Structure 1
Amino acid sequence: MYQKYYRQFLQGAAESAASGAKAPLHMACHSHHYWPDITLEAVQQYWQDSARLADSKWGPIFEQKIPAWQAAVARVLNLPAPDRIALAPNTHELVFRLISAFDLSRPLRILTTDGEFYSFTRQLQRLEEEANVEVTRIHKEPYDTLAERFEQELHHGHYELAYASQVFFDSGIAFPDLAGIAGRKPERTEFVIDGYHGYFARPTDLGEIADKVFYTAGSYKYQGAGEGLCFMSIPAGCTLRPLYTGWFADMAELENRADQVGFADNWLRFAGSTMDYSTLYKAVAILELFEREGITVEKIHEYVRGRQQQFLATMDSAGHPLLNRQNLIYHDLERGHGHFFTFDCTTAQRARQLQEELLTRGVLCDRRQQLLRLGFAIYQDENETFQRVFS
C-alpha cells in the first residue's frame, strides 16, 4: 500500500536477495527510517539551488522553505503559530538554549524522569555539578502510577523546568496523560515535551497546550527525512532570553546593529547559526507528498498498529525463549505505545547474540544494553507475518 514511495530502498533489498543474501526486513525504523524516493530529487534540488544562487540561496530558504516546513509541522501537531517553531540541527541544541535562558546564578530546580534520552541525561548530570542546580527524577516504573506521581511532584516541588518524553526511547511506552499534565502545570514552570518518538508516529494534538509547552522533535526518525533538522515549538508570550544564542537570532536587525542584545517574538528567539539545509528540502518534499496523497499521521499509526498486532500474533504462537510477552516491556499496547517494541533480554550479551542471530535471517534491529528494540513502519509489507524473526 505505502511501499511504492520507498522503491529505491526496497529495490535494493530485492537485488540483495537476488544475489543470494536474504532480503532485509528493516526493523530499526525507530532509529532510522527509510527515506521516501522523493528525497533524492529534493537533495539534488538543494544542490542545484546552492550552485546556481550561491549566497542568494538564503532568500528562498528563509522566505519559502522554512515557512513551508513550519506550516506543515504546525498542521501535523495542530499548532496555531507556525512562525513560533524554531529549528536547529538537533534537539539538544534547542533544549540547552532554553536552559541557558534561566539565571544560573540562582537556584535552578528541574523535574524529569529516569527514562530520558542520553543527551539530556548527560547534560543534567553535568549541570548537577553546579551547586545551585537540583534535579529530581521520577521513576518511570510502574507506568500505572507515573502520571499521578509526576504531576504530584510537579505541583509540590516549585520547579523552574519540567522535562518528559512523550514516548520513552528505551521501551516505546507513551507517557500517560502527559498533555493533560502539561496543561495543568504551575504558571512558574516551563514545560518541555520531548516528542522525538511521538512526532509523525502517534497522532498528536497540541492545540490546547500550545501556549504552555515547548515541544521538541525532529525529522531523523519517523518523518524519514534524515538527520540534521529538528524543531522546538515556542509558547506565545515567551520572553526568555537565551544566553546561548547565535547570529541568526539577530537576523532582522543586521542592518541596524544595536549595542543591546534583542530577541524577536518568533522562532528566531531560539535560533542559532548557519546549518546545512539539505534535510529541510527533504522534509518539505516528504510533507508535501504525504499531503497530496492523503497520508496522515493517523493513517500511518493505524497501519503500524496493524503490523504490531500481526507481530504479536506470530510471537504468541512461536514460543521464542526471549521474544515473548514475559520479556516485552509494555503498559498499554492498544492506546499507550509508540512504533517499536522493546524486549528485556536480561543481559547485554544475550541481547547482542539475539541481534546477531536476527541479522543472519535478514532482520535489522538495534539494542540498548540488555534491551532489544524492534520497530515498525509503513514500508513494511502488509502481508509480512514476521515469521523469520522467530524462526
Structure 2
Amino acid sequence: MSFKRLFGRALGAAPGRLHFAAHSHHLWPDASFDGHMQAWSDAARLADLKWDRVFAHVLPEAQRYIAAELHLPDPATIAFAPNTHEFLVRIVSALPAPRPRVLASDGEFHSFRRQSLRWAEAGMIDLTVVPHPELLSTARAAAFDLIFASQVQFGTGQALTDLPALAALAGPEGPWVVIDGYHGFMAAPVDLSGIAGRIFYLAGGYKYAMAGEGACFLHVPPGFGARPVNTGWFAAFDDLAAPQGGVGYAPDGRRFLGSTFDPAGLYRFNAVQRMLADEGLTTAAVSAHCDALKAQFLEAADLRDFAVLSEGSARFVALQSGRAGAIHAALEGRNVLTDVRSDVLRIGFALYHDAADVNALIAAFTAACREA
C-alpha cells in the first residue's frame, strides 16, 4: 500500500530522490505545511496576543496527543522546548547534587554524548559510561544521581528493554532516570502508564512524528526537580502580571519551560497528528508498513559482507562495514539518501516509501557496493 499522496509537496520538490534517511530528517507530510501556515496566520492576526492562543490551545492540544501516544496519566506533565539539549541542561541544573554522578550507555546520541563529556572534562559531573547491556546491572550496583539512556541506541538501533527495571531505581532524591525517546517516540507503540511517575522522558517531532524541528518535549514526573536552576520566564507564565519578587515555578511540567520560542513546530505537530487520526494511521499501523519494507530489503539485498546491527523497534537497518562511508557516498551519487556514522550505514524506512521504492533502493545499493 502507498501513502505517497500524503507527502505530495516533499516528494514533488525532489522527484528523482530516494530518501531513505527517515530516521534522520523525516520528510514532512502536506498537513505540516497547513500547520506551518496557520502559525504564520495566527502571528499576523493576533500579534502579541498569539501567545494567549499558543498557551491556551496549541500547547494543550500537543500535550493531549503526546499523553495519548505514551499513555501518560496527565498531559500537564509535558513541557516543550526547541530542542532536547535545552531539557538536558535544565534537568542537570535541577539535580539535588553539586557534582552529579551520571551513568549512561555507550550508545547515546550526539546531544547527550558531547555535553556530558564536556561536563566531565570540566569536573562538573562524575560520568560513568558502560556498554548498553551493562546499564541496568551497573545502575543497581552503584549510587548515581542521574541515569540517562536512549530508548533506541545510536548506531545499532538496539532497543532498551528494561525501562520498568530502571524506573524502579528512581526517586525524587535520586537517582533520576531520563529516557531519551527521540528514536523511539512514534517508531513503535510505547506505554509509560506504569512508570510515568518515576521517569523523565524526552523526545521530539523531528523523527517519526514527522513534524520537523522545534517541537521537542519532556515528560516530568511529579515531585522531581521542583526548581531547575536553568530556568526561563515561561516557567512561570501564569504569574507574569503578578508583582515581581522571588523566583516562582509552575506546579506541573511547565516548570521546565524555557523562554521565547518559535511555536510553528507545535502547529506542524498538531496538524500531522490530526492527519494521522483522519487517516486512521496509528503508530502500530505505520510501524507495520515500515517493518514490511525493512523486511523486504533485508530479504532481497545481498548483505553477506555486512554485520546487521539493528533490531527491535528501530525503523532503520544498521549495516556495519569498513566500506560504509564509500557506499554511502556512492548511494548519494545516485540520489539515494542514507546516513553513515563511522563504519555503520543506516537506512531508514517511512510511510512515504512503498515496495517499488525498496526495489529501487536494492538496485542502487547493489551497484554502490560494487563501486565502493
Tell me the residue number matched to 1:174: 159
- Residue 107 of structure 1: how far off its partner (Å): 3.7
- Residue 263 of structure 1: how far off its partner (Å): 1.3
Whether 2:222 is the aligned partner of 1:229: answer no
1:33 pairs with one of 26, 29, 41 = 26
- Residue 239 of structure 1: how far off its partner (Å): 4.3
Asked whether the 8 Å contact 2:214–2:265 carries over to 1, the reply is yes
- Residue 103 of structure 1: how far off its partner (Å): 4.3
Whether 2:362 is the aligned partner of 1:387: answer yes
Tell me the residue number matched to 1:162: 147
2:337 pairs with one of 339, 354, 364 = 364
RMSD, aligned α-carbons? 1.7
Question: Which amino acid is the alignment partner of residue 284 of structure 1?
Answer: N
Question: Following the alignment from structure 1 to structure 2, what is the Cα–Cα distance between the partners of residues 131 and 43?
Answer: 42
Tell me the residue number matched to 2:324: 351
Whether 2:244 is the aligned partner of 1:279: answer no
CA 1:72–1:156 in structure 2 vs 1: closer, same or farther (change >3 Å)?
same
What is the TM-score when the length of structure 1 is the normalising length? 0.88
Question: Following the alignment from structure 2 to structure 1, what is the Cα–Cα distance between the partners of residues 62 and 355?
Answer: 30
Output aligned runs, 1:55-204, within 5 Å.
55-103=48-96, 106-131=98-123, 133-140=125-132, 146=133, 149-175=134-160, 177-187=161-171, 188-204=174-190
CA 1:209–1:121 in structure 2 vs 1: closer, same or farther (change >3 Å)?
same
Identity of aligned residues (%): 37
Asked whether the 8 Å contact 2:167–2:198 carries over to 1, the reply is yes
User: How many residue pairs get matched?
Assistant: 361
Question: Which amino acid is the alignment partner of residue 12 of structure 2?
Answer: Q
Question: Following the alignment from structure 1 to structure 2, what is the Cα–Cα distance between the partners of residues 365 and 293?
Answer: 28
- Any unmatched runs of 5+ in structure 1? 15-22, 141-145
Question: Which amino acid is the alignment partner of residue 184 of structure 1?
Answer: A
CA 1:324–1:10 in structure 2 vs 1: closer, same or farther (change >3 Å)?
farther
Asked whether the 8 Å contact 1:328–1:342 carries over to 2, the reply is yes
- Residue 326 of structure 1: how far off its partner (Å): 3.7
Question: Which amino acid is the alignment partner of residue 381 of structure 1?
Answer: D
Asked whether the 8 Å contact 2:170–2:199 carries over to 1, the reply is no
Secondary structure, aligned partner of 1:208: coil
What is the TM-score when the length of structure 2 is the normalising length? 0.92
Output aligned runs, 1:213-252, within 5 Å.
213-252=199-238
Question: Which amino acid is the alignment partner of residue 95 of structure 2?
Answer: F
Question: Following the alignment from structure 1 to structure 2, what is the Cα–Cα distance between the partners of residues 134 and 339?
Answer: 33
Whether 2:18 is the aligned partner of 1:10: answer no
Question: Which amino acid is the alignment partner of residue 20 of structure 2?
Answer: M
- Residue 222 of structure 1: how far off its partner (Å): 1.1
- Residue 13 of structure 1: how far off its partner (Å): 4.0
Whether 2:308 is the aligned partner of 1:328: answer yes
- Residue 345 of structure 1: how far off its partner (Å): 2.1
